[in-house]
């Protein structure tokens, strides 16, 4: 019985110490302000905005992958393959272009959240995909 009461007291003391240290750590984390972001020069901001417009604006569109597709470095079947997107995935698309004729379709989608291009043959667009305003 004594062993059991001693164990309970030790457990309560340990739990209290852990809780106190957690609160102290949280208080320190809250007290320290986050560093201010580096200022961006107006010219750099304008260039970033122009690039975003050239790449289809800031909006991300989506597509459903109906069959595994290869991700190419450029919109061409001869460009290096830099990845594969599995079937049944939903991908983020920036814009599209008419590129090299791949088997069955010459439309290519520029991926929005990663580098690369995919042929549109096995992608079902879930949104309206705009044309890219630039040539890759």
Single out the residue of 134, 122, 67 nearest to residue 96, CA to CA: 134
Q: What's the rounded Cα separation, in Å, for the pair 4 and 85?
A: 57
What pLDDT tens digit does each residue of the chain (136 aa) get? 445 554 554 545 555 544 445 445 544 444 555 566 566 666 666 555 555 544 445 689 999 999 999 999 999 889 999 999 999 999 999 999 987 776 668 899 999 999 999 999 999 999 999 999 866 5
The token pair at 4 is: 């059991």
Q: How many CB atoms lie within 10 A of CB 134?
A: 13
Q: How far is CA 129 from the centre of its chain?
A: 18
Contact yes or no for 96/108 (Cβ under 8 A): yes
Find, among 28, 21, 107, 23, the residue nearest to 69 by Cα.
Answer: 107
Question: Per the structure block, which two tokens stand in for 70?
Answer: 């290869």
* The predicted structure's pLDDT at residue 105: 82
- SS3 of 2-51: the string is HHHHHHHHHHHHHHHHHHHHHHHHHHHHHHCCCCCCCCCCHHHHHHHHHH
């Amino acid at each position: 019985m004594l062993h059991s009461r001693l164990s309970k007291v030790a457990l309560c003391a340990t739990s209290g110490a852990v809780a106190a240290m957690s609160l102290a750590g949280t208080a320190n984390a809250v007290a320290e302000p986050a560093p201010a972001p580096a200022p961006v020069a107006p010219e750099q901001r304008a260039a970033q905005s122009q690039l975003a417009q050239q790449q289809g604006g800031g909006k991300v569109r989506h597509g459903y992958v109906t069959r595994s597709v290869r991700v190419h470095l450029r919109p061409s079947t001869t460009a290096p393959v830099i990845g594969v997107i599995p079937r049944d995935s939903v991908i983020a698309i920036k814009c599209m272009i008419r590129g090299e004729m791949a088997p069955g379709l010459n439309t290519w989608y520029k991926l929005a959240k990663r580098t690369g291009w995919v042929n549109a043959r096995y992608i079902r667009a879930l949104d309206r995909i705009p044309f890219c305003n630039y040539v890759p």
